[in-house]
A = this chain, B = another copy of it.
């Protein structure tokens, strides 16, 4: 018996969902990339080496893309968005460099982490350099409101990282506590990246708030999907770097949801692996089996879709346009990564 699959419930192709947006901002992103390249320049040779190791390793540059896109959505026609987009990417890169030191990671974006190649020192200091350059570019743009948004974001991101440090290895972390962590450490930069566009365009407060809400909810959805992907997604095929969070004892939403329903035996398993850090090679498979048993990955996906819906709804005040359509599709892109 055949089943008719309604079109709106088919899994979208994640790359296709991003392609429209990438095409729409292609011209601006060329200038952003040129700015990034020139602003990592320094007479101190190690700085461009370390910075470009990470920057050239092919992240999607989703955050600066969002800055350009929301500026365009608000009909901004000036030069400022390019520099702010580059600033946003520098803030993100600085966070990654400092994260590697914090997490003692060996790999980042499929390459050896900068801290392994050049040492913790270089990761800390080049991160500081990029943060400084980010603020210099913001100052050049000259919008105090944008400066306020992005410097506040820098503070909140650091707070979120410290919160995560405090929550780390604590399997009693609640869903609310976890949401507070990822709202600060991940979603705040998405929110700020989307808010500065309408600010530059001097659009009404309501539109600034709408773009901010879009970014915030998209950022939460994005992080939740990352959490799912770290346990191999909902499919049976394993992607790269599966199990990093588990081996580092990171408490993520799938864990929070599974711990809440855990048997005594399972609770002991999570305490041994995540709190005590005693992880054997076969434990990842056990962890995945427990998560599946409780539907924790599917439930995390459902949460991600909830925030995705809110991101889409936030854009309602804006009239239909190809850019709005592309921004709505990005939500699909973020979520479809997990299938």
A19-51 interface code vs B (CB 8 A; 1 in, 0 out): 000000000000000000000001111110000
Are the CB atoms of A125 and B98 closer together than 8 Å? Answer: yes
The CB with the most chain B CB atoms within 10 A, among A101, A121, A147, A163, is that of A121
Q: Decide yes or no whether A202 CB sits under 8 A from chain B.
A: no
- Complex CA distance for A45 and B167, rounded to whole angstroms: 12
A98 to B121, CA, bound (A): 8
Q: Which residues of B contact A159 (CB under 8 A)?
A: 42-44, 47, 129
Structural contact, A132 and B120, CB atoms closer than 8 A:
no
Whole-angstrom CA separation of A128 from B147 in the bound complex: 16
A292 to B51, CA, bound (A): 42
The answer, yes or no, to whether A75 is at the interface (CB within 8 Å) is no
- The chain B residue sitting closest to A118, CB to CB, is B165
The answer to whether A136 and B162 have CB atoms under 8 Å apart is no
| Known contacts A132-B154, A136-B151, A139-B151; A125 and B162 CB within 8 A of each other | yes
30 A–B contacts, CB within 8 A, in A order: A44-B163, A44-B166, A46-B162, A46-B166, A98-B124, A98-B125, A101-B101, A101-B121, A102-B121, A102-B124, A119-B165, A120-B120, A122-B162, A122-B165, A124-B124, A125-B158, A125-B161, A125-B162, A125-B165, A126-B158, A126-B162, A128-B157, A128-B158, A131-B154, A132-B157, A133-B155, A136-B155, A139-B147, A139-B148, A147-B147
Q: B47 contacts A162, CB within 8 Å? A: yes
A122-B162, A128-B131, A133-B155 known; 8 new pairs, CB 8 Å cut-off, are A42-B162, A102-B120, A128-B154, A132-B151, A136-B148, A136-B151, A138-B151, A139-B147
Assembly stoichiometry (copies)? 2
Shortest Cβ gap from A300 to chain B (Å):
24
Q: Which residue of B lies closest to A47 (CB)?
A: B162
